[in-house]
Amino acid sequence: MTLVEKILARSAGQERVHPGEIVYVIVDVAMTQDILGALAFPAFRELGVPVWDRDKIVMIIDHCAPPSTLLQAGYVVENIRFAEDYGIKHFYKMKGVCHQLLPEEGFVKPGAVIVGTDSHTTTYGALGAFSTGIGSTEMVWVFAKGNLWLRVPETIRVEINGRLQPMVMAKDVMLKILSLIGTNGANYKTLEYGGQVVRDMSMDGRLTLCNMAVEAGAKSGIIEVDERTQSYLEGRVRGEIEVLKSDPDTSYSRILQMNVDDLVPQVACPHSPANVVPVGDVIGQKVDQVLIGTCTGGRLEDFRMAARLIQEKRISSKVRCLVIPASARIYLEMLEEGLLKVFAEAGCILSNPQCGPCAGVQHGLLGDGEVCVSTSNRNFIGRMGSTKAKIYLASPATAAAAAVAGELVDPRDLEGGK
Amino acid sequence: MVHGKEIVIEGRVAWVFGDNFDIDLVIGMENLSERDPRKLAELCMVKFEPEFRDKVKTGDIVVGGRNFGYGHAHPQSLTALKKVGIRAIVAESFSPPFYRGETSGGFILIDCKGIVNCANRWNLLRVDLVNGVLTNITTGTRLSSEKPVAPVIQRIRSGGVYNYVLEKLSIR
């Protein structure tokens, strides 16, 4: 069986499962973020029952962090009251974005089944868990019953070999994958990432890969457990860490082979994450805003790379560059490493950890005709504000280079990037 | 609509959409913060056909191409469509999160390959959901539709997962 089949079989209490089979799995962790959680809570209250296991629920306030409108303030209050009324201890109020906090705080263990009211819940597959997004309506069921029906997904294996060039990052690899698979090429399937490049990749990079699995239509993304996983989890989780892998002789629905020796920085052009071209095709595109942050590109490795490019330079006067760490811990690490100083001196706008402008909630929306280069995961029309704005998705290196140049450039050409 | 062992719906095709249709377009991206169902009904399909609301009647069906519902679907458009009377969507295929989200809420989505070539606007369709048979009564054509999996049928029968949970809890 593939890794995901093994996880689901165990959770469903079966010897084995087959793709396409309907199973009921036990949920190990259920996560809600502030906005979609607030949609679920009133309906759950009406049931008049306690939550199935308060220890398995993690509530996060990250979109309205802190709230900028009365509506958002209302969501925050709804979340706080629910956590109080139902005794939810794992409640992170404005400490970071959900998809960074869950791994960081040790809620993700290999082999776990995790659901969340957010599309990018696929992120946690980087630690060998089965992890997928569900709607608020379904979360009401999970809160009451602690299980979930699933159709066992087929697995597409993405074998990534070769060596990444300097300045080429996990985000570039993922954008390239999307250009090959398309936005519905992995519908109902799991993307299993492997190969030498993945083995060599940091956890920050692996989280980026799994974060965007959903953009290919995938139910989940996953990476086998290895020493890097174990080392990340040390001190974060208690108990034994299972080294889980797919069986060597298992069959996949498709195997995609990639070699990244010649991979250049990529961008996803408006208005789809799969509308991907090499950055060389869009050099000179004028930029009004750069966003370096989010659950896709707001981790320490991302900011270290961006800082290398921005260091000792001023960002272009044509651009506002938003720097938004994905968690309070990352913010502190950036402070200690002197990264915040680099961004501040260059003229960036530093912010507290939040989802902010990524989903068009607050803190950096785009006006008519504006262009943003973002390290986030979606660039649909209207995603970050105006329906007449454009978003290019890129790696933190490409985004930082754009902030300095005032337009899209190949980060490898920027002085200091060599 | 007949409930009980069978789930059969009958309705006219009120509109035919293309592939990868982003459902948010039904009310317009700029209206996504609207929450009043009556206002949403007024906005429903206005950019496609201003008189849509007057032409549609309760029980009508919307038809779509492949990967219907693609994008980050907000609830407003379905609220608007339901308010003006749409009771089901038949498409070549659905975007998975859209399919799961809407059927969880008890709304009827029917996966039926070949529907776009077989159905024109205002044709009368009859769908036997459980047995997977779609008939275009106007033209006489018959197609096989995907039989939904058991959990989806349970939720449609109950009128949504919320009602289904209530039923299950009282059995507990």
pLDDT in tens, B36-56: 899 999 999 999 999 999 999
Provide the mean pLDDT of chain B: 91
In SS3 terms, A96-109 reads as ECHHHHHHHCCCCC
pLDDT-based confidence at residue A418 (cuts at 50, 70, 90): very low
Quick check: B62 and B14 in contact, CB under 8 A? yes
Write out the two tokens for A64.
Answer: 């309205």
Q: What is the mean pLDDT of residues A60-81?
A: 96
Write out the two tokens for A308.
Answer: 């290398």
Residue A283 contacts B, CB cutoff 8 Å: no
- Could you tell me whether strands A147-151 and A22-26 are parallel, antiparallel, or unpaired per DSSP bridges? antiparallel
- Could you tell me whether strands B124-128 and A91-93 are parallel, antiparallel, or unpaired per DSSP bridges? unpaired
Write out the two tokens for A63.
Answer: 């979109």
Question: Are residues B165 and A133, on separate chains, in Cβ contact within 8 Å?
Answer: no
Q: Give, as one character, the DSSP assignment of residue B148.
A: P
Q: By C-alpha distance, which of A312, A270, A304, A299 is closest to A414?
A: A312
More confident residue, A29 or B3: A29
Residue A338 contacts B, CB cutoff 8 Å: no
pLDDT-based confidence at residue A17 (cuts at 50, 70, 90): very high
Could you tell me how many residues make up chain A?
A: 418
pLDDT-based confidence at residue A415 (cuts at 50, 70, 90): low
Q: Which residues of A143-154 are buried (b: 16+ CB within 10 A; e: fewer)?
A: bbbbbbbbbbbb
pLDDT digits (tens, 9 = 90+) for B63-72: 999 999 988 8
Which residues is B64 bridged to in the sheet?
A: B91
Write the single-letter amino acid at A68.
S
**Residue A334 Cα to chain centre, angstroms:** 19
* Contact residues for A159 (Cβ-Cβ < 8 A; gap 6+): A194, A195, A255, A256, A257, A258
pLDDT greater than 50 at residue A68: yes
More confident residue, A205 or B76: A205
* CA dist A291 → A204, A298, B150 (Å): 18, 9, 44
pLDDT digits (tens, 9 = 90+) for A271-329: 999 999 999 999 999 999 999 999 999 999 999 999 999 998 999 999 999 999 999 99
DSSP-derived 3-state class of residue A371: strand
Question: With contacts defined as CB-CB under 8 Å, which chain A residues touch B24?
Answer: 382
Quick check: B47 and B28 in contact, CB under 8 A? yes
Helical residues (DSSP H) of A105-169, grouped into ranges = 136-145
Predicted local confidence at residue B172, as pLDDT: 42
Q: How far apart are CA A416 and CA A397, in angstroms?
A: 11
Question: With contacts defined as CB-CB under 8 Å, which chain A residues touch B150?
Answer: 22
pLDDT digits (tens, 9 = 90+) for A168-190: 999 999 999 999 999 999 999 99
pLDDT digits (tens, 9 = 90+) for B128-168: 999 999 999 999 999 999 999 999 999 999 888 888 888 88
Predicted local confidence at residue B138, as pLDDT: 97
Question: Are residues A184 and B67, on separate chains, in Cβ contact within 8 Å?
Answer: yes
Q: What is the mean pLDDT of residues A198-213?
A: 98
Q: How far apart are CA A123 and CA B12, in angstroms?
A: 42
Q: By C-alpha distance, which of A257, A255, A258 is closest to A2?
A: A255
Q: What is the mean pLDDT of residues A72-85?
A: 97
Does residue A66 have a cis bond before it (omega within 30 degrees)? yes
- Sheet with A29-33, strands from edge to edge, namely A91-93, A57-61, A29-33, A113-116, A130-133
Q: What is the mean pLDDT of residues A352-356?
A: 95
Chain B: residues touching A (Cβ < 8 Å): 20, 22, 24, 29-30, 32-33, 66-67, 70-72, 93, 95-97, 100-101, 104-105, 149-151, 160-162, 164-166, 168-169
Which residues is B88 bridged to in the sheet?
A: B61, B108
Question: What percentage of chain B reaches a pLDDT higher than 90?
Answer: 74
Question: Are residues A138 and B149, on separate chains, in Cβ contact within 8 Å?
Answer: no
Predicted local confidence at residue A275, as pLDDT: 97
Shortest CA gap A132–chain B (Å): 10
Closest chain A CA to residue B67: A184
* Phi, psi of A296, rounded to the nearest 5 degrees: -95, -40
- Residue A402: Cβ within 10 Å count: 33
Closest chain B CA to residue A39: B75
Closest chain B CA to residue A21: B149
Q: What is the mean pLDDT of residues A389-399?
A: 98
Shortest CA gap B134–chain A (Å): 23
Using the structure block, give the residue that is written with the tokens 């330079």: A313
Question: Are residues A144 and B165, on separate chains, in Cβ contact within 8 Å?
Answer: yes
For residue A93, with 0-12 CB atoms within 10 Å meaning exposed, 13-18 middle and 19 or more buried, which class applies?
A: middle
pLDDT digits (tens, 9 = 90+) for A103-121: 999 999 999 999 999 999 9
Question: Are residues A380 and B164, on separate chains, in Cβ contact within 8 Å?
Answer: no
Q: By C-alpha distance, which of A17, A13, A12 is closest to A1?
A: A17
pLDDT digits (tens, 9 = 90+) for A314-347: 999 999 999 999 999 999 999 999 999 999 999 9
Torsion on CA atoms A379, A363, B25, B48, rounded to nearest 10: -120
Q: How far apart are CA B158 and CA B172, in angstroms?
A: 17
pLDDT greater than 70 at residue A368: yes
Question: Are residues A141 and B29, on separate chains, in Cβ contact within 8 Å?
Answer: no
Q: Helices A34-47 and B161-171 meet at what angle, rounded to 10? A: 40
User: What DSSP element (H or E) covers B124?
Assistant: strand B124-128
Write out the two tokens for A37.
Answer: 């959680």
DSSP-derived 3-state class of residue A369: coil
- Could you tell me whether strands B124-128 and B133-136 are parallel, antiparallel, or unpaired per DSSP bridges? antiparallel
Using the structure block, give the residue that is written with the tokens 């890794």: A3
Write out the two tokens for A91.
Answer: 């409640």
For residue A82, with 0-12 CB atoms within 10 Å meaning exposed, 13-18 middle and 19 or more buried, which class applies?
A: buried
Q: How far apart are CA B108 and CA A212, in angstroms?
A: 29
Helical residues (DSSP H) of A311-390, grouped into ranges = 328-336, 339-346
Q: By C-alpha distance, which of A85, A135, A137, A131 is closest to A109?
A: A131
Question: With contacts defined as CB-CB under 8 Å, which chain A residues touch B30?
Answer: 382, 387
**Residue A40 Cα to chain centre, angstroms:** 22
Provide the mean pLDDT of chain A: 96
Question: Are residues A49 and B169, on separate chains, in Cβ contact within 8 Å?
Answer: yes
pLDDT-based confidence at residue A257 (cuts at 50, 70, 90): very high
Question: Are residues B151 and A137, on separate chains, in Cβ contact within 8 Å?
Answer: no
